[in-house]
Chains A and B, each alone.
Chain A
Amino acid sequence: MRSIQEIVARRRRQDRWFAVLGVFCTSIGIITLIALLANLLIDGLGHLDWQFLTSFASRRASSAGVLAAVVGSLLVMLVTACVAAPLGIAAGVWLEEYAPKNRVATILEVNIANLAGVPSVIYGLMALSVFVYAFGFGHSILTAALTLAVLILPIVIVATREALRTIPRTIREASYALGATKWETVWHHLLPYSLGGIATGVIIGLSRAIGETAPLVTIGALAFIAFLPDPPVTGEFPFVSFSWLGSDFTVLPIQMFNWVSRPDPAFHHNAAATGVLLIAITLGMNAIAIFVRYRMRKAIQW
């Protein structure tokens, strides 16, 4: 009898120890995240002022700012979203709703899973050869945006498919029963109902794109840009101009990489301030994505 009680006690002890170990390991991750945020805030928050946000890059750390990088990041993200969202959603819809269940669909599926795992720097190499040289787009905003759009395409496709998969079959059957064509079913029912999941995927993809550095270094993005691209709105007819698409650019992560690679510690503070901006943007976008997903899960109950 005693030995059984001993075994039971020992096993309870094992369980308690493992629970402690689990909490410890989980907190390593959480504590690192907090340490990283605290480190950036301590190093960078003092430099993050209006002057920093409205100045161009400079040889002197104290007068350097991120204006060109902020504008560059916004413009690149805008074009990336305009390319990746329609293309990714369309591909996701086809794969989930239209694709015949045969080898072609399997190949496409394996292919997308692989694309999601290709290192981002490889996308940069592809863009350098195709967009920069073969298409002649140069080191422009357009090249950067296309590169990042290709990079986040798998994220958008997978999110679209998962959102569509949660819609019950009965919704589709009901639509067909009323005489709707497949496209009408997709456009009037499936897309509106899956909008939350799709939006989440697009936001997550963009938050990934805004922090990407390696592929943009590869296509030759410059860190020292002391001008803004041409404005998209002009005073004379036709009032909109797309010449900014071909402009040289820099973005926040490139600027941060440039500053962190310099030996002078004064520039490290600038890098930290840029890092605070980047983290605020990416974590903010992730928070929005989590919020959207949560709201949608509550709003729609089949």
Chain B
Amino acid sequence: MTSTPLPQTEVLGAIRRRQRRSLLDRGAAMLLGAAAASSIIITVGIVMVLAIESSTFFGEVGILTFLTDTVWTPLFADARFGILPLVTGTLVTTAVALAVAMPIGTIVAIWLSEYAPHGVREVLKPALELLSAVPTVVYGYFALLFVTPLLQKLMPELPTFNMLGAGIVMGIMIIPYVSSLSEDAMRGVPRILREGAYAMGANKLLTALKVVYPAALSGIGSAYVLAISRAVGETMIVAIAAGMQPNLTLDPTQPAATITAFIVQVSLGDLPHGSVGYQSIFAAGVVLFVLTLGFNIAGYRLRKRFREAY
């Protein structure tokens, strides 16, 4: 068998094609890398915007006054800039939401992971996740015009705007954040651990509480922390149903503004660039960002740990 050598033009063509392909390959890699870098640009953008836009504010007000003054009236003639009323509003609504979401979410997670038959779980888990798909403005409507009137039947003196109704609805909204992530964590616990508990005579409840729950704790913890972060950053429910008056109180039956509700309230009005109102929402944004960032990083760390455990 004799092999005829390839004509030179064909060899050159093949080389050129290969060069073109490798060029395309390198170009694509660069474009994709640039797209991935855009997420860094966004983060840097957020941090820089918050730092720059609030720097004038902190230059004039001073961080100590900002953190310790108990009155927040940046748009009044007698302007006071104490973030505390907004922080307490945020803390109270978050606490109410967690009081609803943590026990219910955890029980749902244990039930779905340890008790519910496979078919039931496959249906109920996505059904519950629909709770977090509902737009928050719709939840605001529900809190103001359904849940609060319902609560007023139990507590006649409850005002129309209150943190209790807003917090409860917010809690129901974040149930799936707690239940789905916790359930994933508990299902990641090896079967052998459960078999060991059963062999010792434990029932499902004891196995769940004494073996599975502790083994999945970092995953469940990350679910809790992410739920907290979500509740702190939630905006529309509290803006609609909790009222927008800054109010230094820890009583959930009172109306109050949260950090997020304040940002919305000021944005609804006319907001010239560089005005006091404009600067104050960025100052409030800094506090909100720092709070949620702390929770997010803690949640991420916890989740990483639970993934590495097995």
Contact = CB atoms under 8 A, between A and B. Distances in A.
B128 A119 contact: no
Interface string A151-192: 001100100000000000000000000000111101100000
A72 interface: no
Contact of B263 (A25, A125, A153): A125
A275 interface: yes
A26 B107 CA distance: 8
A272 B140 CA distance: 11
Q: Give the secondary structure class of A's interface.
A: helix
B49 interface: yes
A36 B134 contact: yes
Interface in B1-53: 21-22, 24-25, 28-29, 31-33, 35-36, 38-40, 42-43, 45-46, 49-50, 52-53
Interface in A250-298: 253, 256-257, 260-261, 268, 271-272, 275, 278-279, 282-283, 286, 290
Contacts of B141: 40, 256, 260, 268, 271-272, 275
B111 A119 contact: no
Contacts of A227: none
Contacts of B175: 28-29
A128 B260 CA distance: 15
Contact of B131 (A32, A154, A184): A32
Interface stretch (A46-54, A108-116, A230-238): A108-116
A23 B111 contact: yes
A184 B25 contact: yes
Contacts of A272: 141
B146 A39 contact: yes
Given A14-B205, A278-B135, A94 B25 contact: no
Interface string A106-135: 011011111101111111111011100100
B133 to A, nearest CB: 5
A183 B205 CA distance: 51
Contact of B260 (A26, A107, A214): A214
Contact of A117 (B33, B52, B226): B226
Interface residues of B, number: 89
Given A122-B285, A257-B137, A275-B138, A26 B108 contact: yes
B290 to A, nearest CB: 11
B104 interface: yes
B295 A183 contact: no
Contacts of B299: 117
B90 to A, nearest CB: 11
A282 B135 CA distance: 8
In the A-B complex, the 4 residue pairs with the closest CB atoms: A22-B111, A119-B233, A211-B135, A90-B35
26 contacts: A22-B108, A22-B111, A22-B116, A28-B175, A29-B175, A33-B130, A40-B138, A40-B142, A90-B36, A98-B29, A108-B40, A114-B43, A114-B293, A118-B296, A119-B292, A122-B50, A124-B267, A126-B49, A211-B135, A213-B235, A214-B239, A214-B263, A253-B137, A256-B141, A257-B137, A257-B140
Interface of B: 21-22, 24-25, 28-29, 31-33, 35-36, 38-40, 42-43, 45-46, 49-50, 52-53, 103-104, 107-108, 110-112, 115-116, 124, 126-128, 130-131, 133-142, 144-146, 172, 175-176, 179, 202-206, 208, 226, 229-230, 232-236, 239-240, 260, 263-264, 267-268, 271, 273, 281-282, 285, 288-289, 292-293, 295-297, 299-300
